[in-house]
Amino acid sequence: MFMFRRRRTALAKRLWKARVRRDNNEARCPEKTVAGAPSSAAAATTTPSPVESDERQFRNALFKRLDDRQLETLLRAVDTGGADAAECVAVRPFLFVDPAVICCRLWRWPDLKTAEQLKNTPACQTAKQPDMVCCNPYHWSRRCEIERPPPPYSRFVKEKLKPEDRAPSECSWDSNDDELRGSFSTDGDEKPNEQEWCKVAYWELSQRVGRLFPVDTKSVNVFWNVPLGTGLSLAALTQHHFSPAQSPPESVLRNRTKIGQGLVLSREEDGVWAYNLSDWPMFVNSPTLDDPESNSYLVFRVPSGHCLNIFTGNPHGDRIRYSNGVRIGPVDPNAVRISFAKGWGPKYSRQEITSCPTWIEVLLDPCR
């Protein structure tokens, strides 16, 4: 019994030490006493702040409710930064706070305020149990707050794009041709599957890599090469590249290392959500996030650990513009482009999406 108690205590101590530190003006651990400072000041530095006292109270209450297996699961998720966070850590709500908020504040986002800022990831099974709360901080994603109006760096004028600089779903087509041509996901020769709700293509700069990946499950992980990961491995696509073998540019090789756990695309009741699981931000352009009155595309930055509703199923028309009698704009209004770690736009050296080292394009079925 004593041995099990010691093991449990060790797990709890490791979890407490692994918590995210606050800024210096609100540190969770007592600061070191400055040499020559009065003893009363030294005593004050060792007095827990109200925030720390509340968190200690929560910690004690939480750890008492978790069995050894749950403590190990929680520690494994925290230690691996979410790389090994498959299992839920479910508890019933207690005390005066939301356990999920405090856990995410302790181990991920010290500045988190309310539960409204959080959203369960598709991997969380506890979300289906209304009387339980998941305390695994990596089963939560932080909602990305869209700036309205967005900052200038996120806008880029469509008329400035040359045809060779456009992604395939942005190509122009003849006004007399009603068929969509150059769509990345169909290439004009693939039959739709009623069970598929989207297809994903991986791009490196202006070259598509590997085959198209059809998605017929509610959610799909898109990652580089995660051990035991299920979904679309971009590393695997590069091994079956259909173009002649050649060494990728250095910028591509560097950016591949930043994809990591990548993202999750999830089809939900209110649209399609993208959850950023990597350690780097991702940049999104979607027809449903564009301003219908603007002559510019918008690119939104989604930080690590955040999520964004990238497609509501109600795009703002087909975003068509006319130039010399030729319609210019996305061929498919249901196409979404996501770049890993690198943004693009007028304030970047990368003016177009095809200048981004690694990115994906998602073609969604016509909104239902």
**Mean pLDDT in order along the chain per 10 residues (368 residues):** 70 90 45 39 51 80 91 94 91 84 94 94 93 95 79 55 47 34 35 73 93 94 86 90 71 96 95 96 91 77 96 60 43 82 89 93 72
pLDDT of residue 39: 43
Q: What is the pLDDT of residue 172?
A: 38
| Token representation of residue 41 | 């000041």
The answer to whether the CB of 144 falls within 8 A of the CB of 308 is yes
The reported pLDDT for the residue numbered 189 is: 38
8 Å CB contact between 91 and 99: yes
Q: Where are the beta strands (DSSP E) in the chain?
A: 90-91, 118-120, 133-134, 140-143, 155-157, 198-204, 207-215, 219-223, 232-233, 263-268, 271-276, 282-285, 296-298, 300-302, 306-311, 321-323, 326-328, 335-340, 359-364
Q: For the chain, which domains are there?
A: 2-143 (3.90.520.10), 152-364 (2.60.200.10)
Could you say which DSSP state residue 81 is in? Answer: T
Provide CB contacts within 8 A for 330, sequence distance 6+.
169, 170, 287, 318, 319
- pLDDT given at position 230: 84
**Per the structure block, which two tokens stand in for 277?**
């699981």
Token pair recorded at residue 210: 């590997």
> What local confidence, expressed as pLDDT, does residue 152 receive?
56
197 Cα distance to chain centroid: 20
Tell me the pTM. Answer: 0.79
Give the per-residue pLDDT at 107: 95
Tokens representing residue 235 in the block: 């590393």
CA of residue 196 relative to chain centroid, distance: 22
At residue 332, the pLDDT reads: 61
Tokens of 33: 């006493």
Counting every residue written for the chain, the total comes to: 368
Beta bridge partners of 90: 134
Laid out side by side, the sheet with 140-143 consists of 118-120, 140-143, 306-311, 271-276, 263-268, 219-223, 232-233
By the 8 A CB rule, do 289 and 319 touch?
Answer: no
